[in-house]
Structure 1
Amino acid sequence: MSEEDNALVNQSESSSFEDLATAHEIEEAKLAEAAAAETEKPIENKTDEWQDVLGSGALLKKILKPGDESEGLRPHRSDICRISYELKIRGGSGDIFEKRDHVKIYLGDNEILQGLDLALTLMYKGEECLLQIAPRFAYGDVGLKPGENQGLVGESTPVNYEGPVIGPETWLEARLELHDWSEEPEHETLPIAERMEIGTRRRARGNWWYGRGEAQLAVQLYRRALDVLDEAEGGITEPTPTGELAPTSDELRALLEERLRVHNNMAAAQLKAGVYEAALQAVTRVLSCQPQNAKALYRKSRILSAMGRNSEALDAARAAAAAAPDDAGARKELHRCEQRATRDRSVERRLAKRMLGTQAPKGTPDKKPSKAKMLMWGLLSLLVGVASVLVYRYKMQGH
């Protein structure tokens, strides 16, 4: 994220995802195949051996305690799973650097490391297992350094990492237990306070993924946050013609404001992922309720610039700078758009001159000879004259 983008993002915490191609669907397909193959194995062969979950060696699983397979049920995407886990570096000192007991997560939302999330789809109630997780399903190329936010779900304040440096080639070893799970309730049945809690934690986790350069995973979390923050039938009315929110309860107002924060953050993630149309839709939703939202105006300018709509980007940049005159990022964006507009006007003038014939094309000869050319022609004329005189005298002598 650029410095100017950070300046506006930090002022307030901060489409569709169908047009973002991710590897998640591929991994889910692999998991489905692995689950089908696993059910065909005899129970006695499922313990004391490492199973290659994805078939690529990137996620290995060994069952320590079999779960309840009597009904053959496993959790599915969006189910609320109650789990315990601990993490350590494979081949390291053996120290546990992260441990959570009986924490609730929404399966498939990447609220935990991807390796843990994927493994849960192959576990039964009460099952306990060991996992070996490749970097791509752990902390990726970014890794994790002491003092950085671990992004622990369910924590009201950020928890900083205190273990050794985890590099881009670091494998992890995990101990994971699935206690039980339940289906996600219909959002309409949840009280507003609970919706706010769920939506806020999904946005926070999306911010964590965005900060690590995982824009697509961030969009997934933001979309899930929007699902639970939707209150179409709860009293939120359309904005008034002036752009101000219509009078409503404090709870509903807070819910809508949180929803707008999510849209704003999702626009940044979609911009980073190159999905410009979806990003523009996200900021448009924000500006329809908050026309002077400086962060949305700033991002709208960035999005329009990426789309090549420079004149519209300049208008948005001017509005952002007017809404936040003291913000360095907004001023820098305006300066960049003004410079681009100046260059565009210069190019247009040159093209107009050439089209109208008021400027000679490059490579055409000058209409007025230069002094060097005039001197050369003068010398040639003199030589021709001298030669003519000599020829005439020679002929006369011959007669």
Structure 2
Amino acid sequence: MEDDFDFPAAGEMNDEIMDDAPYDAPTTLKVGEEKDIGNQGLKKKLLKEGEGWETPENGDEVEVHYTGTLLDGTQFDSSRDRGTPFKFTLGQGQVIKGWDQGIKTMKKGENALFTIPAELAYGASGSPPTIPPNATLQFDVQLLSWVSVKDICKDGGIFKKIVKKGEKWENPKDLDEVLVNYEVRLEDGTLVAKSDGVEFTVQDGHFCPALSKAVKTMKKGEKVNLTVKPQYGFGEKGKQETGVPPNATLQITLELVSWKSVSNVTNDKKVVKKILKEGEGYERPNEGAVVQVKLIGKLQDGTIFVKKGHDETDLFEFKTDEEQVIDGLDRAVVTMKKGEVAILTIAPEYAFGSEQSNQELAVVPPNSTINYEIELVSFVKDKESWDMNTQEKMEAAGKKKEEGNMLFKAGKYLRASKRYEKAVKYIEYDTSFGEEEKKQAKVLKVSCNLNNAACKLKMKDYKEAEKLCTKVLEMESRNVKALYRRAQAYINVTDLDLAEVDIKKALEIDPDNKDVKMEYRVLKEKMREYNKKDAKFYGNMFAKLSAVDSKKMGPKEVGPMTIDSKA
């Protein structure tokens, strides 16, 4: 046998780059067991178990030792005899199909015997003189290692090879600020850029588009080699000032040293948190928790307007969700862990608004965006429902409902809605309640869901208002307030037929209800307007072959039916 016998190279049947061949990944095999891989006759027998659970993927550079034999035991090739492991790129058609399909099922260090039919090897032609036509082959293969190579954009634009594995499992996100080291070379090895420690926001990018694309796939401490095609480098023009010619492929060594996690605390992106130091564990304060913090508040020009818990003996303590601090700080602290240090950027709407605020060390002008550097030193969570007995749950639900009522009357509908939701959560699961307690809980749930529906109508969240009223009607099908408020929700999303059904049913139950009668008149007027617009629309369409836009109906505020404060 020739020492330079290049096996198992792909034959003519494998010249094209392979797609993922369909196969069923084998379930965990015991040593000595054999199993089919796919439905083309490929078999795998486990000779020695591997390590861990990971297996290589297409594009990875694998290193193996192997011995190849015919079914009669005749050996035709062995990397072991040559003393040199065989390396190839998996899934790229560089080897016979049976190898590409089989080796991707192996773990590091695993030893297996593959029986490969001719269709997945050298077919009808064989590989003269050592492999006859239509030969079934056997390979004793050990997977020594592999280097992960990923096509991270799935278009061949950036290939990433991991040189050093990172820590944990998290990856940076668009808002995060990353610290990286990098070195950029042309394909001929010419150095065009190098940086030992540069920080940038992922979504803003740095140097070329490939850096931000790559860091989003990396872990802390990970080091990679990137092959970057022109579309993710500097394209057709290149970048002459750094010596990158047009249409240049770049070779980039990139290390993700660390990053600062940045997140939007509020959906409108007006309260932003940047973590300077990770906290401990996984628990965070809940609503009603007592927190102790160190705090420095600054204006955008750096002026300090408040400093608490640093030079004083006592830490700054407050209770969350009780309006003891500005809304942005209140919302942000419940996202933090013990020991976490963060910078908060808070827009005026969640800070001091349009009014001037006189603070301890400086005045905060109207409409100021402010920054807080905050450390959550400790917290004591408010008691959760699962830690309460039945009586405590009932009392807590009643208290949250009353808090919600006060907030509703003050026009703070979002905060009121949260109170009602929390009240219902306390008593949502009542399987351990006695009969009398179940009755009381039902009254509370009905009342809180109705009041919450009133909040949602005020906030123009008509879908949620409809859902809350439906929940009530599932408990009390003849509840007039639920029918009335659901009708209001339907009217505001132009489900006029459904609104009419609810109003008619409410009037059957309570014929003299003034609020429902008034809403019925509103509904009829809406229906008349709607019908007129329809008639005009279709009339013009047929007469002039053109349509006119129908105006949207304005939102309807919650009517005079008051929130329920009795239960």
With the shorter chain as reference, the TM-score category is: 0.3 to 0.5
Greater relative CO (CA pairs within 8 A, separation 6+): 1
> 1 or 2, which has the higher strand percentage?
2
